[in-house]
Structure 1
Amino acid sequence: MNFFERQARARRSSSRLIVLFALAVLAIVVAVDLMVLLVIGPRPGALLASTVVALAVIGIGSLFRIASLRGGGEPVAQQLGGVPVAEDTRDPQLRRLRNVVEEMSIASGVPVPKIYVLEQEAGINAFAAGYSTSDAVVAVTRGALDRLNRDELQGVVAHEFSHILNGDMRLNVRLIGVLFGILMIGIIGRKILLHGRGFRNSATIMVVVGAIAAMSVGSLGMFFGRMIKAGVSRSREVLADASAVQFTRQTAGIAGALKKIGGLDGGSRLAHREDAEEVSHMLFGDGAGLRGLFATHPPLLQRIQALEPGFRPEHLSRLQAQWLANPPDGLQEDIALGLVAPGEALPQVDRALAVTPPMVAAQVAHPHDDDYQRAHAVVAAISEPLHDIATHREAAMPLILGLLLDDDATVRRRQQVEIAARLGAAAADHAAQLRETQLQDLHPMLRMPLAALAFPVLRRRPRPQLESFLDTVHAVVHADDQVSLFEYCLGRLLEVQLREALDPARYIRFGRRKPGNVKQEFATLLAVVAQAGNPGDRAAAQHAYLAGMQRVLPRDHLPYAPPAGGVQALDAVWEPLDALDPLAKQVMVEAITAAVSHDGRISVAESELLRTICGVLHCPLPPTLEQLPH
């Protein structure tokens, strides 16, 4: 199952969630009506009123909780006591976590998510939350940082990235919102009962009786809520374990983390039990102690045995005895294991890569161990001073602008004027200085990863500053009225990701359009890509264009007509193409790949072009498109 099939499955799961929620609401309304029927008899007016009130309470509860989660993953992390990890942290454990997340992000082709640590949680657990890759949060417990070595931490983070890439976290956040509604009647009853204690008059007794009845109905809501979460979560956890192994290409990491959950007293339990119940379906391990039909995760031993078939219960007992006497220390285990080599060096700028459209489509949001090795190599290739600049609050904006400064001195001076007019002379000078000292000889494959490292710092800026920054990026890109494809794509990618981070709840829908509904948009995109890959050679560009169109619209005849506006013509295609059905997006990626690889090979620059286009259209690609030899 590839990325596009998993996206289609996630959309179907969303539909099933709506059906299950409707059935749960129906059951609760029937239960409320039965109680009214038992208390006051068959009065149609009273039954209608009870139905309306029950529906209103459920609806208002769900809408309220959904509204409270409009910020994406951050409200969930903060609710559980999460503390953000600073980009420039020097704490060894936090630095190790940030390195793992950054490398995983670069390997999978998505923006670096916000990183939180649940400092008060001694158990080993983690979760990913958010509506899109641009507002995603990855949170781990303090117990995971203390007890897991780097391989195990990598396995846990890879598991959570699977949820990010597969669309699971979007469904999980929605689930928190909708299920809150069916718990509302029970919550109201519990609050009334709590505040009704100590009173003895008859009216209060009637209120307490009503509260007990509401709590009884609430228990029905709790039953349905737990059943829905268990049904949605269990199979996804199995798939996420398998994806983590496929990503890191080793079972020892995630299996080791699961063994430590089973072998240590704290396990994966969260101290905040009520909050743990609400988010139980999105945790790496069982955080709320749910069992049987309500279990949101497969049995721990079953998960370990799926990774290591020879593992037996007595092995876990021996580990429990060993760790009782000498609890594991993740950092000390890292020292004993030694450092991992960064992997293969970056390819030469003029090197051509052999790819095929199905191969690239299969890599979308489906990184392998090769990609993780390359991500490690990419991060290692970024100098420490440059890495520090990317994660520094005051330097991130000048760094991005420095990447966009032109080689031509006249154009560059014009761009600096635009920067100074919007962000001040100091920012313009800083951008120019970074270009001259740090960025001039930067490998092309490091530009987008460097921007990805700066993204977490950028999105923490206030909205007015981000608006000014995006306006500055636009001005710098258009300073000479000759927008290169790299300038355009970097600017557009920044705008998409930052705007999604500012208002994540607006970007939660799966598309439903078919290729036949966006024919002209496909023609424009493929014409621009073909022209950019074959400048000055109209025949080769036309051949590339037709190769792409044959993939996506084989029965339609849309002649090659490169738009007069060049790359800026793409402004009109992003929204319609991003609204494509997930499986149609797979065809789209294959079509773009066919256009850039019409001669059987693509350059490193073209592979970066492909990655940026796919990033704008929410189809994240790994750092490079070929596979390392095994």
Structure 2
Amino acid sequence: MNFFQRQQDVRKSSRRLVVLFVVAVITLVVVVDLIAFFLLGLSEQSAATIMNMMIGLSLFLVVAIGLTSFFRTLVLKNGGGGRVAQSLGGMLVEENTTDPRLRRLRNVVEEMAIASGTPVPEVYVLPNEQGINAFAAGFTPADAAVAVTHGALERLNRDELQGVIAHEFSHVVNGDMRLNIRLMGVLFGILGLAVVGRILLHIRGEKNPLPLIGLVLMIVGYIGVFFGRLIKAAVSRQREYLADASAVQYTRQTEGLVGALKKIGGLPEGAKLRNKRSEDVSHMLFGEGFANWFATHPPLERRIRTLDPTFDPAQLAQLTTAWQAQAPNGMHEDEVLGLTPPTERPLPPRNAPMPVRPEDVVASVGTAAVPRSAEHQRAGSILAAIPAPVLDRARHPDAVLPLVLGLLMARDPQARTAHQIIASRFGAAVANAAGQEAQALASLHPVLRLPLAELAFPVLRRRPRQEQDAVLACIHALAQTDGVLDLHEYCLSRLLHRELYESVHRTSPWGRRRAGRQAINQAAATLFAVLAETGRPGQAEDAYRAGLAQVVPGQPLPFAPVPPVLLENVWPALDGLDGPEKQYLVAGMVTVIGHDGVMTVSEIELLRTVCALIHCPLPPLADARPEQVAS
């Protein structure tokens, strides 16, 4: 299943969740009404009295459930993935940590973010959980957090940890996190009946029916737990198969993921979570966090067999016996198996042409399935190629702002307008530091620019809210200043602005508006015109028309060169496209940029940035091995 189809399926799951929620609420209201009818002796009342009581009680229940769900979802949405991790006792893993286990975890997460073309999420560890488990939470990829248990950190080797993290990243890329947050809000609303009932139960007074109603609500609220688990099972189970499959695409091997699942099955702790709030996130977890009637995950043995058809369930008993004598140690296994971080490999020449086919690029969106090279290895080599001092500054809270602003100015370090924009918001010292960074980063390889920006992003988003607002204003001003930034800088600045905005506001800066067909066609034409002029100006019109034919065939939209700043008008319409329409759009962009059948490394990175802007994450396409580069 490709990324675009998966996006459609997530939307269907969201609609399915709404239907299930409505059915559950109606059922609960009917049950409460029936119980109240008999307990309150309404059979002796007039029809009008009965009707008024039933309508009033039903409205109260619907409003109570609806408002509870709404506010719970709002709190989770505004808190981001970090709030969910913290609610389970999660501890943030700093970007510049030197602890070997935590450093290994952060490296794996950063490699996977580069491999999947998504922002680097916050990373948490659940220190009190000995079971092997993990989850990803957040409302958008820009405010995502990935959390792993202490047991996963201790017991899994690097390949197995990669498999688990890749599984969680598939939820990030496919849009499952937003559905998970909504599911948490919906279920809390249903369970909220029990909370309301507990309050009413303690209201005293003569001939006061509220305690009796409270008892009814408590009973029905816990009946709601039944419906909650039923909804979780209905929504979640199939997604776990898809996440396992996506994890294999990201890592290009099954051994790591299978090894992690076998350790869950062979160790006494399994995937269990002890935290009382683990029920809230059971549908998010990598493994079944605790036993219940309605499992949110497929059976463990079935998941393993799907990945490894040769698996014999008897192996789990053998592993259990072996690990009773000595539990596995992930770091020790790394040493024995020689599992080390990917090393730096030579980067491809900046202007080396690489053969490209639109269908191959489209198939790569939202995946890392490249036949000749494992994407996580490629991402690891990219991470290793970033100079250590630059990487340190990207991970340091006091150095990250000048670094990011300098990265946006790197192609024109002497741009006076950009210096003035920065100085007006942060002062001359920051502007000067950004100018120095721009000069230092001017020679940075194009393949490293987008990953460096994404690595700096999680540090930037934890700055004080007032500073984040100033950064948003500054980046927006830089993007809109014609003549200061070329197309590469414009798109990178727009991407950083969008990600930071989504992190702060939990929504896209241009909203979720659905544009009309004419506006969509004009937006695509503007984007293709800018891309065509950037590639090979002499062939710009031919490239423009070839790309346009992919998206709006037969539409007489004349070609006219436009500056990058006019792209400000295209993002709302293009980002609001449905999955299949975005698929055609990406194919059209590839056709424009690679009109002659090849693309340079710089053009590939531009394409990745534009795809990220419209939420179509594209993994690195430029291989670091010279022999893979077309001559």
Pairwise TM-score range, normalised by the shorter structure: over 0.9
Q: Which moved more, 1:400-409 or 1:216-225?
A: 400-409
1:134: which partner in 2? 142
Distance 1:69 1:408, change over 3 A: closer
Provide the C-alpha distance between the structure 1 equivalents of 2:556 and 2:545, rounded to a whole number of angstroms: 9
1:67: which partner in 2? 74
- 1:173 has 2:170 as partner: no
**Which residue type is aligned with residue 423 of structure 1?**
F
What is the 5 A alignment of 1:74-223? 74-190=82-198, 209-223=212-226
Provide the C-alpha distance between the structure 2 equivalents of 1:60 and 1:407, rounded to a whole number of angstroms: 51
Q: Is the 8 A contact 1:360 1:625 kept in 2?
A: no
Q: Is the 8 A contact 1:132 1:508 kept in 2?
A: no
- 1:589 has 2:586 as partner: yes
1:22: which partner in 2? 22
Provide the C-alpha distance between the structure 1 equivalents of 2:226 and 2:436, rounded to a whole number of angstroms: 62
Provide the C-alpha distance between the structure 1 equivalents of 2:584 and 2:76, rounded to a whole number of angstroms: 33
Q: Which moved more, 1:397-406 or 1:372-381?
A: 397-406
- 1:22 offset after TM fit, Å? 0.7
Q: Is the 8 A contact 2:359 2:587 kept in 1?
A: yes
2:549: which partner in 1? 550
Q: Which deviations, in whole Å up to 9, do the C-alpha atoms of 1:342-375 show, x marking residues without a partner?
A: 3753211011121111211111111136321210
Q: Which moved more, 1:210-219 or 1:314-323?
A: 210-219
Q: Is the 8 A contact 2:447 2:622 kept in 1?
A: no
Provide the C-alpha distance between the structure 1 equivalents of 2:172 and 2:58, rounded to a whole number of angstroms: 38
Secondary structure of the corresponding residue to residue 231 of structure 1: helix
1:351: which partner in 2? 352
What is the 5 A alignment of 1:287-306? 287-291=289-293, 294-306=294-306
Provide the C-alpha distance between the structure 2 equivalents of 1:513 and 1:149, rounded to a whole number of angstroms: 48
- 1:239 has 2:242 as partner: yes
Q: Is the 8 A contact 2:112 2:379 kept in 1?
A: yes
1:364: which partner in 2? 365
- 1:377 has 2:377 as partner: no
Q: Which moved more, 1:394-403 or 1:302-311?
A: 302-311
2:494: which partner in 1? 492
- 1:41 offset after TM fit, Å? 2.1
TM-score (normalizing by structure 2): 0.93
Given candidates 456, 459, 472, the residue that maps to 2:458 is: 456
- 1:570 has 2:567 as partner: yes
Report the count of equivalent residues.
615
Distance 1:514 1:163, change over 3 A: farther
- 1:310 offset after TM fit, Å? 2.4
- 1:70 offset after TM fit, Å? 2.2
1:325: which partner in 2? 325
Provide the C-alpha distance between the structure 2 equivalents of 1:17 and 1:508, rounded to a whole number of angstroms: 26
Secondary structure of the corresponding residue to residue 90 of structure 1: coil
Q: Is the 8 A contact 2:402 2:431 kept in 1?
A: yes
Provide the C-alpha distance between the structure 2 equivalents of 1:224 and 1:552, rounded to a whole number of angstroms: 44
Q: Which deviations, in whole Å up to 9, do the C-alpha atoms of 1:312-368 show, x marking residues without a partner?
A: 232111111111210111111111111254375321101112111121111111113
1:619: which partner in 2? 616
Distance 1:446 1:466, change over 3 A: same
**Which residue type is aligned with residue 337 of structure 1?**
L
TM-score (normalizing by structure 1): 0.93
Q: Is the 8 A contact 1:120 1:142 kept in 2?
A: yes
2:524: which partner in 1? 522
Secondary structure of the corresponding residue to residue 73 of structure 1: helix
Provide the C-alpha distance between the structure 2 equivalents of 1:41 and 1:505, rounded to a whole number of angstroms: 48
Provide the C-alpha distance between the structure 1 equivalents of 2:225 and 2:510, rounded to a whole number of angstroms: 26
Secondary structure of the corresponding residue to residue 115 of structure 1: strand
1:443: which partner in 2? 445
Secondary structure of the corresponding residue to residue 443 of structure 2: coil
1:342: which partner in 2? 343
Distance 1:428 1:517, change over 3 A: closer
Q: Is the 8 A contact 1:547 1:595 kept in 2?
A: yes
1:4: which partner in 2? 4
Structure 2 residue ranges without an equivalent (≥5): 44-49
Q: Is the 8 A contact 2:121 2:143 kept in 1?
A: yes
Provide the C-alpha distance between the structure 1 equivalents of 2:417 and 2:179, rounded to a whole number of angstroms: 46
Secondary structure of the corresponding residue to residue 77 of structure 2: coil
Identity %: 49
- 1:140 offset after TM fit, Å? 0.8
Q: Is the 8 A contact 1:405 1:476 kept in 2?
A: no
Provide the C-alpha distance between the structure 2 equivalents of 1:342 and 1:373, rounded to a whole number of angstroms: 9
**Which residue type is aligned with residue 378 of structure 1?**
I
Q: Is the 8 A contact 1:108 1:620 kept in 2?
A: yes
Q: Is the 8 A contact 1:516 1:553 kept in 2?
A: no
Provide the C-alpha distance between the structure 1 equivalents of 2:390 and 2:14, rounded to a whole number of angstroms: 42
1:423: which partner in 2? 426
Q: Which deviations, in whole Å up to 9, do the C-alpha atoms of 1:361-391 show, x marking residues without a partner?
A: 1111111363212101100101222111110
Q: Is the 8 A contact 2:513 2:572 kept in 1?
A: no
- 1:560 has 2:559 as partner: yes
- 1:76 offset after TM fit, Å? 1.1
Provide the C-alpha distance between the structure 2 equivalents of 1:67 and 1:508, rounded to a whole number of angstroms: 20
Distance 1:502 1:424, change over 3 A: same
Provide the C-alpha distance between the structure 1 equivalents of 2:499 and 2:387, rounded to a whole number of angstroms: 25
- 1:396 offset after TM fit, Å? 0.8
